[in-house]
A and B are shown apart, each in its own frame.
Chain A
Amino acid sequence: MIGSRIQRAVLLGSLAFAPAALAQTPTDAQLKKGQEVYQYWCWNCHGGGTGKPGTEALQAKYNGTRPADLEQRTDLAPAVIKTFVRKGVSIMPIFRKTEISDAELDALAVYLARNTKAKSGN
């Protein structure tokens, strides 16, 4: 547990550009479920519009080089999403399985990674 946030940062750095896990085509049901989970749990921090701390933080971080709105991202790997949800990052807290179940997290990851193109060789 000691230093887990530091380990998490290293892990995320190694995963952010490794979307090879996107070999499977998501089903409509997965995408629909994932969008529902996103709307329920994520949108209020990461959606569009004003007063969204996650979106504003990512805008400050990437300064427009990547979309600040998570739904618009094209470079997210499912493993990265799952790590953030289960480990937290900065002021984003951990989410428990009674909040977002493993199945819901799978769907969320599929949904947010739906626009990510697999890179050959990764």
Chain B
Amino acid sequence: MPKLPPGLSSKDFQEAIRQFEAAVGKQWVFTSDEDVALYRDSYSVFLGEPEEIVASAAVAPDTVEQVQKVMKIANTFKVAMFPISTGKNLGYGGSAPNLSGSVVLDLKRMNRVLEVDDKRHFALVEPGVSYFDLYRYVHERGLKVLLDLPDPGWGSPVGNSLDHGVGYSTGEMRDHFGSHCGMEVVLPNGELIRTGMGAVPNAKTWQDYRYGAGPYVDGMFSQSNFGVVTKMGFWLNPQPDAYLSGTVTVSKHQDLIPLVDTLNYLENSGITNGMPQLGSPVYGGPFAPPDPELGALIGKPGGATPAELEQYAARKGRAYWSCGLQFYGPEKVIAAQWEYAREKFSSIPGAKFEEGPSYKFPLTPDQIEKSHKVTVGVPDLSIFMIGARSPFNANPSHGHVWFSPIVPRTGQAILDAQKVFTDASRETGLPLLAGPAPLPSTYYKRAFIFIFGIMVSTDPAVNKRNREAFKRVIKIAAEKGLVEYRTPPAFQDDVVATYSFNNHSLLRFHEAIKDAIDPNGILAAGRYGIWPKGMRAKRA
């Protein structure tokens, strides 16, 4: 474990630590090996290897004034700092920095829900607030809002949105960064700014109007290292009267194309407003192994042809594709929306429909227990079934990293992406564990995200092989225009390198900003490929 931030003498580090202690209190500066080890990425792809990216210390302020003091001290001594909110960005880096030896700026203690307004439907929170915390706040006060939640629920609205996380409810709110409104940011030099209407001392519209006057800069603080976000506003769904779900199934391989086209029309028209979920029932359940007949079919050289799968599905009485739909709103309105959706999907010959669970808000505890909780605004951790020991998985993993490419919202793009990633998996050996026909897992309103979980092993040789394969798949996919929306620190340079238009002019622009606002290069060096001037040679 490194004992010092890069470039710092032991004497200067000790003095910086002493000043950090004076700023936040001695008990909130962590320097012992035992305490600093708590900031390791629990899902590191370098598990147990010397290359694991680890911190040198951690400092945990409780107020924005303390954050400012810490950043000023860090600037004085040129201490590399790495802010985290709840530190639960598991699969994308957890609580560890991008650069070994950084001091983690742990904002978990800043856990105040500052405001929730259920008339204008917004919240204002600090970075240490988790979705569970926000839910409790809303629930205990009986506020009439519906939270849009990611999986799992112990992340923070601030951290999740800054890493472009996505939820499950309405299209506008699923985009967590897109649905934020107003930020407070400590710049690398310790100066405090508020964006949008937060810059107007007497304005009452910080969480209502995003843009203020002049450039809209909020995007600069997502997936970046330009500031420490200490407050953030979010728009919320009003609590709807009711929830309704339904499923459309179709029987032919090529039906995926009109299925997605129709879904897009309905969702972009506001007729279906909840997160859709595409499935391939032909392959059976997501966690169960395929039956022997299907296993033989998909395991033969070249895999099963669409015609063979259609015949297999017909014999088994299974649909080929499914599309789950969700509706939030007044009961009779969403019933009409579901009716109209059925009418539109009926243009696909053989389309069948099944109505799923429906609820009136607020749900009873029994209904919540039986529901897919995140879709009805209740945070939970059931997503961790992925990789956990189960009847289907006798060898639980030691975490995972996500490979998360952005795919156009068309059926043909899904089929093309399936081929790209199936071929890439065969070529590189990267175990893309999404079944034989991967489908979108996350649904921005205007883009699909495929998500492949790569399990972390206790065998460094396996992790090394997977890291190399991960990097090769990044390049293979990028050649087809498929690039990742989010990735762990180990791969951020590689992913950012694929955003290469005009000789990487976007990254060079990011670097110009970095040099201007963080000339000492102290904040989150390397995050999403943005290295300080003196460290750019490190870039892959």
Interface residues of A (CB under 8 A from B): 1-6, 40, 44-45, 49-54, 56-58, 60-61, 86, 88, 90-99
CB of B219 closer than 8 Å to a CB of A:
no
Minimum CB–CB distance for A113 against chain B, Å: 22
Once bound together, how far apart are the Cα atoms of A43 and B391, in whole Å?
A: 21
A5-B48, A45-B384, A98-B108 known; A93-B390 Cβ under 8 A: no
Residues of A within 8 A of B379 (CB): 44
B95, closest chain A residue (CB): A96
Chain B neighbourhood of A51, CB < 8 A:
373, 380-382, 385
Contact partners of A91 in chain B: CB under 8 A: 43, 384, 386-388, 396-400
Which B residues touch A2, using CB under 8 A?
48-50
**Contact (Cβ within 8 A) A86 B373:** no
Residues of A within 8 A of B128 (CB): 98
**Is B47 part of the contact surface with A, judged by Cβ < 8 Å?**
yes
Cβ–Cβ contact A60 & B389, under 8 A: yes
Highest count of chain B CB atoms <10 Å: which of A2, A90, A91, A94 = A91
Are A98's CB and B60's CB within 8 A?
yes
**Which B residues lie within 8 Å of A40 (CB)?**
132
Contact A96 B48 (CB under 8 A): no
Nearest CB on A from B85, distance (A): 11
Contacts of B397 in A (CB 8 A): 90-91
- Give the contacting residue for B48; candidates A1, A53, A56, A58; CB below 8 A: A1
Contact B385 A56 (CB under 8 A): yes
- Distance (whole angstroms) from the CB of A89 to the closest CB of chain B: 9
In this complex, how many residues of chain B approach chain A with their Cβ under 8 Å: the count is: 55
Please report the C-alpha to C-alpha distance between residue A63 and residue B183 in the assembled complex, in whole angstroms.
49
Please report the C-alpha to C-alpha distance between residue A99 and residue B388 in the assembled complex, in whole angstroms: 23
- Interface segment, one of B30-38, B311-319, B329-337, B485-493: B30-38
Cα-based distance from A2 to B50 in the complex (angstroms): 8
Docked CA distance A53–B458 (Å): 21
CB distance from B236 to the nearest CB of A (A): 22
Which residue of A has the minimal Cβ distance to B111?
A98
- Report B374-425 residues with CB < 8 Å from chain A CB: 379-391, 393-394, 396-400
B345 at the interface (CB under 8 A from A): no
Q: Which residue of B lies closest to A86 (CB)?
A: B38
**Residues of the B chain whose Cβ atoms lie less than 8 Å from the Cβ of A61:** 389
Smallest Cβ distance from A81 to chain B, in angstroms? 16
Smallest Cβ distance from B106 to chain A, in angstroms? Answer: 5
CA of A5 to CA of B381 in the docked complex: distance in angstroms?
Answer: 23
Q: Which 9 A-B pairs have the closest CB atoms?
A: A51-B382, A93-B42, A53-B384, A57-B389, A98-B108, A90-B396, A96-B38, A53-B388, A57-B388
Given known A2-B48, A96-B95, A98-B60, contact A56–B1 (CB-CB < 8 A):
no
* Between-chain CB contacts (< 8 Å), 16 pairs: A1-B40, A2-B50, A5-B458, A44-B379, A51-B380, A56-B390, A57-B390, A60-B394, A90-B389, A90-B397, A93-B42, A94-B38, A96-B38, A98-B108, A98-B109, A99-B87
Residues 85-100 of B contacting A (Cβ, < 8 Å): 86-88, 90, 94-95
Q: Which of B35, B40, B381, B391 contacts A44 (CB 8 A)?
A: B381
CA distance A2 to B1 in the complex (A): 10
Assembly CA distance A49 to B373 (angstroms): 13
Q: In chain B between 342 and 391, which residues have their CB closer than 8 angstroms to a CB of chain A?
A: 369-370, 373, 379-391
